[in-house]
Amino acid sequence: MGKSKRKALKSGPIEMQVAQQYFEGFKDAKYNELFNGILGGVYAAAKFKEWANDPNFVGIMFWYSFENETKKYLLAAEKKITPFDYEEDIIESYKPEDSEIILSNNIITEFGPLKWIPFQNEEEFKVDVIKPNFPDKIENSAKIEILQKDFLGFNKGKNISKVSFAFMCKADSDENGKSYLIDFLTDPKLVYISYHFGYSSALDPHGLRLVLMGRDHDGRIIENGQGKFKYRMENESKPPRKPPTQ
């Protein structure tokens, strides 16, 4: 039997339990120590909501970034208006392009000021509150490319991630053709977007995973109906899962 074709991990809702497994995996692998206690960050959602209303919008490229001066792991968000086709053999050629890229300015750590402890159960999840303390930064592609390269350079040989990006794709949709990403970004209650680093060894060499949580004006995670996808949480599309063998 030959190897099956590679399939991308869809941009769409992620279950609370799966997200928790990613967060636990991040700490179990001691990547929280490698990331200097940084577990994620939080953005204001206004700019992202503007992007969602642009008819040319195709998705969001998130760039894993490392700031050498402060030793901080950050995340940059770039609006994409041209289709993105992921190809494994040219991943090192992907670079930031836009003149205005949002760089996180509010990190979530294990020790504050935005302290965050991964939820252990649904009750803890419901009372989780995260709001930014400072405005996001706007940087150009040249600046983000430096931070992106520093991320890859600083983590070389540490087996965190083979790539320095995660792409959220507008095209991924439910059975009714409704875009998961647009649905997430246009929720009227969405005011903040927190992002959280996760890890799964089963997905190596792309084990680093990114989980987004939609938050309301009070910084609480937005509930979205019932069932296993009742909370506003998204998981990135590419790079894909490690292809299975048959």
| Inside any domain, residue 129 | yes
| Inside any domain, residue 246 | no
Give the residue with greater pLDDT, 50 vs 128. Answer: 50
Q: Can you tell me the mean pLDDT for 202-211?
A: 81
Average pLDDT, the chain: 84
| Inside any domain, residue 38 | yes
Quick: pLDDT tens for 155-199: 776 667 778 899 888 988 888 888 999 999 999 999 999 999 998
Show the domain range for 19: 12-235
Q: How many domains does the chain have?
A: 1
Quick: pLDDT tens for 39-53: 999 999 999 999 999
Q: Is residue 4 predicted with pLDDT exceeding 50?
A: no
Quick: pLDDT tens for 131-162: 999 999 999 999 999 999 999 888 776 667 77
| Inside any domain, residue 1 | no
| Inside any domain, residue 5 | no
| Inside any domain, residue 166 | yes
Q: Can you tell me the mean pLDDT for 90-114?
A: 88
| Inside any domain, residue 244 | no
Confidence of residue 10 (pLDDT cuts 50, 70, 90): low
Q: What is the 3-state secondary structure (H, E, C) of the chain?
A: CCECCCCCCCCEECCHHHHHHHHHHHHHCCHHHHCCCEEEEEEECHHHHHHHCCCCCCEEEEEEEEECCCCEEEEEEEEECCCCCCCHHHHHHCCCCCCCEEECCCEEECCCCCECCCCCCHHHHHCCECCCCCCCEEECHHHHHHHHHHHHHHCCCCCCCCCCEEEEECCCECCCCCEHHHHHHCCCCCCEEEEEEEECHHHCCCCEEEEEEEECCCCEECECCCCCCCECEEECCECCCCCCEC
| Inside any domain, residue 108 | yes
